[in-house]
Chains A and B, each alone.
Chain A
Amino acid sequence: MADVDMKPTEEKKTEETKEEEKPKKVPLTPAAEIKLNATLIERAVSTFEPRFTHRVLRTLTSLKKKLDAGALRNATEEIYPADSQTRQQLLALFPPASTDLSMEIDTPPSKPATVEPVPETEVYFRLLLIHHLLASPSTYGKAMEISKQTVEKIQILNRRTMDPLAAKVWYALERSYELGGELADARPMFLAAQRTASLRHDDETQASLINRLLRSYLQYNLYDQADKLVSKTTFPLSAGNPQFARYHYYLGRIKAVQLNYTAAHTNIQQAIRRAPPATTAPGFYQAIHKLSVVVELLMGDIPERGLFRHPVLEKALTGYFEIVKAVRSGSLSQFQTTLSAHQAQFEADKTHTLIVRLRQNVIKTGIRRLSLSYSRISLRDICVKLHLDSEEDAEYIVGKAIRDGVIEGRIIHEKGWMECGGQKGGYGPEVIDVFNRRISYCLELHNQSVKAMRYPLNAHRKELAAADSAREREKELAKELAEGGGDFDSDEPGLGEGF
């Protein structure tokens, strides 16, 4: 019981120190921040609390930007004891620092480290180094080499406390291979590591690796293989939100290519909901919305106009906005010109083939508009209004639209016109389906948001401890009652007799 009680107080202490550190954090130099993170990792390893490691990794994005070789060198020299072998190895890896930075190293006189830090710290340093090397194209090769070494090291060490870091290292490895243009070569490595990770129940790494693999498949348009991977693996439920967002995005892409637009739409919604806010990750936010707009159009819906006025999206989505306008008005010629005008952008976004499929939706919208505005229209006029090639085509197309339930009506072949029937009553068995769909959407939304919440791992222990102490108190109370109320008991039989 004692050590359960200890934990919460200890946690509180760290929270306090964190609070103290916060105001100082703003002017913190990168080197100091790295050092702070190293101590956090140390603590994570000694207490088996992945929380601290996660806290370290959260700062990675911002730290990455202000990182330089001098800071890395400085931090290493202070954290590792002078005679450490790892120190030598790490220092050898770092690119030479410029002179003004080495000046800075001399200034802060701190006590020299004597204890060899945990291997997690080394991996963290390597991770930082890889990110630093990825900042400039000339060092991609070196980044690739180091990331490969690091991964091998992680696999040899095989420590569970390393898992969150390992997941990040795999990301860095993929990034370096992708930037180096050799992503396909890394695939066997990912596949092997994914198997190992799933055997070791290393959820974090597994989630990261599944995403790595999906990305590499989709990069090379191997939708078939990506689909098979998805069907053969289960994405770990405990994975972090960023990984989930990516996973859903890739799933959305696969499903959209397979023409399964409804499923794609659900996945994309999930990804949008789980994605970080638009300002922190604008790239992902834009990419996912591009896909979302196209899929919504393919489903026959028109995206909300407000979306295109979003400050982050406005510029990125201009081409898509034009397409939406063309589809909405049902004008084939406008659609074609927009498509060719923005072709380069769509190809870069890999949405071109999806947008080309919209052609039939444009025609359908056009026919629906005609059927709403006319009670009878000749095939010749349809042909002219929709810019179709021949009357014959128009007849087939209208016939198909009637069969697919896009419009209500009949074709009178002898007279060469289409008669549009009244609109559906709007009440029928399909109402149940629509209602059902909406309700299940809401319920799904609720369930997913509950699942997306994150709790500290050992928070329930606190409650347990509280419950335990409450039970203890109850016991004491009962004991006191039993002791104090002894004479009550003796009275009772007498009472019973009287009644």
Chain B
Amino acid sequence: MSTDLGQLYQELIRSFTARPTDLKKCGLLLNQLKIGLIGAGLLVPQPDANPVDLATAREILEIGAFWSIRSKDIPSFDRYFSQLQTFYNDFSSVLPPSPREFPIRGLYLIRLLTQNRIADFHITLESLPLPADSLTSNPFISHPINLERWLMEGSYSKVWNAREEAPAEEYKYFVDEIMGTIRNEIASCEETAYESLPLKDAGTLLFFKTQSELVQFAQKRGWQVDLTGGAIRFAKKGEDKAEIPRQKLIAANLQYARELEQIV
């Protein structure tokens, strides 16, 4: 690794660990470093590369991943994560384990949750290099696992309470997004499960602190807010019109006829 790349790297670490972090400067440094890494052939690592250089490249990318979250640039986080995967999966025998590996993997899991990409979440979870019993003992991984379980069960209050228990600073950046997802979930449940709901209770169920927030949210979903009675009425979905799906029926019958003809 060339010396000016090393200098840039030192500078990045300095500015990243400084509080408060100068995100803009980090971003500029990261861009320069990435170009440098491409020049040194380390961005997409080759098997014969020097392990020390590889570890440095990995650290730069890890800082990049954290930086993307702090500057709320999620697509950039995805890119860093996919680059890091090569380091984590294919070079795990060459490189010493990174202390940032599991925080980043956990963040990626949460990121999948906020987008409701549950299938991808499970695939990523399966490919974690951990035995099943240590999944729950690793705080960075168990957090997203618990979140997913609660979301699937419907224990939304637990998700709400867990937002303070985030194992790393960066996890909190996703809390707002998760809360948005949850509110929409709860709202769709309420629409079918209740006929009407007192305003106050609706506020607590949806984790709103003020009534105005709730009213805004209710208007967005098209609920009838009865301010004088202090209640929300959910428009009852009319009985679905029992219409005969003609085209589907015809297509199905033709299909049966064709198949039967093949058999006979």
Cβ of B80 under 8 Å from chain A: no
- CA of A402 to CA of B154, assembled, Å: 11
- CA of A214 to CA of B122, assembled, Å: 18
Cβ of A413 under 8 Å from chain B: yes
Contact of B127 among A221, A356, A392, A428 (CB under 8 A): A221
Question: Are A397 and B127 in contact, with the CB atoms below 8 A?
Answer: no
Question: Are A432 and B252 in contact, with the CB atoms below 8 A?
Answer: yes
Q: Across the interface, which residues of A come within 8 angstroms of B78, CB to CB?
A: none
**CB within 8 Å for A224 and B127 given contacts A259-B119, A410-B194:** yes
Question: Are A221 and B149 in contact, with the CB atoms below 8 A?
Answer: no
Question: Are B189 and A224 in contact, with the CB atoms below 8 A?
Answer: no
In A326-359, the 8 Å CB interface with B consists of: 343, 346-347, 352-353, 356-357, 359
Bitwise, A245-262 to B at CB < 8 A (1) or not (0) is 000000000000111100
Cβ of A479 under 8 Å from chain B: no
Interface size on A, residues (CB 8 A): 47
Question: Are A396 and B127 in contact, with the CB atoms below 8 A?
Answer: no
Question: Are A259 and B122 in contact, with the CB atoms below 8 A?
Answer: yes
Q: Which residue of B lies closest to A258 (CB)?
A: B119
Question: Are A258 and B123 in contact, with the CB atoms below 8 A?
Answer: yes
Contact of B157 among A260, A352, A390 (CB under 8 A): A390
Cβ of B188 under 8 Å from chain A: yes
Q: How far is the CB of A423 from chain B (nearest CB, A)?
A: 16
Q: Which residue of A lies closest to B135 (CB)?
A: A353
Q: Across the interface, which residues of A come within 8 angstroms of B153, CB to CB?
A: 359-360, 363, 397, 400
- CA of A277 to CA of B205, assembled, Å: 55
Cβ of A411 under 8 Å from chain B: yes
Q: How many A-B residue contacts, CB cutoff 8 Å? A: 112
Judged by DSSP, the binding face of B is helix
**CB within 8 Å for A353 and B125 given contacts A259-B118, A389-B155, A432-B248:** yes
Q: Across the interface, which residues of A come within 8 angstroms of B176, CB to CB?
A: none
Cβ of A398 under 8 Å from chain B: yes
**CB within 8 Å for A397 and B149 given contacts A257-B126, A403-B189:** no
In B160-187, the 8 Å CB interface with A consists of: 185-186
Question: Are A397 and B133 in contact, with the CB atoms below 8 A?
Answer: no
- CA of A224 to CA of B125, assembled, Å: 11
In A381-416, the 8 Å CB interface with B consists of: 388-390, 392-393, 395-403, 409-411, 413-414
- CA of A357 to CA of B152, assembled, Å: 9
Question: Are A393 and B158 in contact, with the CB atoms below 8 A?
Answer: yes
- CA of A447 to CA of B119, assembled, Å: 30
Bitwise, B230-257 to A at CB < 8 A (1) or not (0) is 0000000000001111001100100110
Question: Are B132 and A402 in contact, with the CB atoms below 8 A?
Answer: no
Q: How far is the CB of A157 from chain B (nearest CB, A)?
A: 31
Question: Are B259 and A402 in contact, with the CB atoms below 8 A?
Answer: no
Of B15-23, B63-71, B195-203, the segment with at least 4 beta carbons within 8 Å of chain A is B195-203
Contact of B154 among A227, A396, A432 (CB under 8 A): A396
Bitwise, B132-148 to A at CB < 8 A (1) or not (0) is 11000000000000000
Question: Are B133 and A399 in contact, with the CB atoms below 8 A?
Answer: no
Cβ of A222 under 8 Å from chain B: yes
Interface size on B, residues (CB 8 A): 45
Q: How far is the CB of A78 from chain B (nearest CB, A)?
A: 47
Question: Are B157 and A396 in contact, with the CB atoms below 8 A?
Answer: yes
Cβ of B190 under 8 Å from chain A: yes
- CA of A222 to CA of B133, assembled, Å: 19
Chain B CB count within 10 A is highest, among A392, A398, A409, for A392
Contact of B158 among A221, A222, A389 (CB under 8 A): A389
**CB within 8 Å for A343 and B127 given contacts A259-B118, A360-B152:** no
Cβ of A223 under 8 Å from chain B: yes
Contact of A400 among B126, B189, B195, B244 (CB under 8 A): B189
Question: Are A413 and B242 in contact, with the CB atoms below 8 A?
Answer: no
Question: Are B194 and A413 in contact, with the CB atoms below 8 A?
Answer: yes
Q: Across the interface, which residues of B come within 8 angstroms of A439, CB to CB?
A: 252, 256
Question: Are B157 and A392 in contact, with the CB atoms below 8 A?
Answer: yes
- CA of A221 to CA of B128, assembled, Å: 8
Contact of B197 among A222, A227, A413, A440 (CB under 8 A): A413
Question: Are B155 and A347 in contact, with the CB atoms below 8 A?
Answer: no
Question: Are A347 and B119 in contact, with the CB atoms below 8 A?
Answer: no
Cβ of B131 under 8 Å from chain A: yes
Q: Which residue of B lies closest to A364 (CB)?
A: B153
- CA of A390 to CA of B150, assembled, Å: 13
Contact of B149 among A359, A396, A400, A410 (CB under 8 A): A359
Question: Are A397 and B132 in contact, with the CB atoms below 8 A?
Answer: no
Chain B CB count within 10 A is highest, among A401, A410, A411, for A411
Question: Are B119 and A402 in contact, with the CB atoms below 8 A?
Answer: no
Q: Across the interface, which residues of B come within 8 angstroms of A436, CB to CB?
A: 252
Cβ of A443 under 8 Å from chain B: yes
Q: Which residue of B lies closest to A414 (CB)?
A: B198
**CB within 8 Å for A347 and B132 given contacts A223-B123, A403-B189:** yes
Cβ of B28 under 8 Å from chain A: no
Chain A CB count within 10 A is highest, among B185, B194, B249, B263, for B194
**CB within 8 Å for A353 and B152 given contacts A224-B127, A413-B194, A414-B198:** no
Interface residues of B (CB under 8 A from A): 118-119, 122-123, 125-128, 131-133, 149, 152-158, 185-186, 188-195, 197-198, 201, 205, 242-245, 248-249, 252, 255-256, 259, 262-263
Q: What are 26 pairs between A and B in contact, CB < 8 Å? A: A223-B123, A223-B126, A227-B123, A257-B122, A257-B123, A259-B119, A346-B132, A347-B133, A360-B152, A389-B155, A393-B157, A393-B158, A397-B154, A397-B155, A399-B154, A399-B192, A399-B193, A400-B154, A400-B189, A402-B193, A403-B192, A410-B195, A413-B198, A413-B201, A439-B252, A443-B259
Query: Across chains A and B, which 10 residue pairs bring their CB atoms closest together, nearest first?
Result: A400-B154, A399-B189, A399-B193, A397-B154, A402-B193, A403-B189, A258-B119, A393-B155, A443-B259, A352-B132
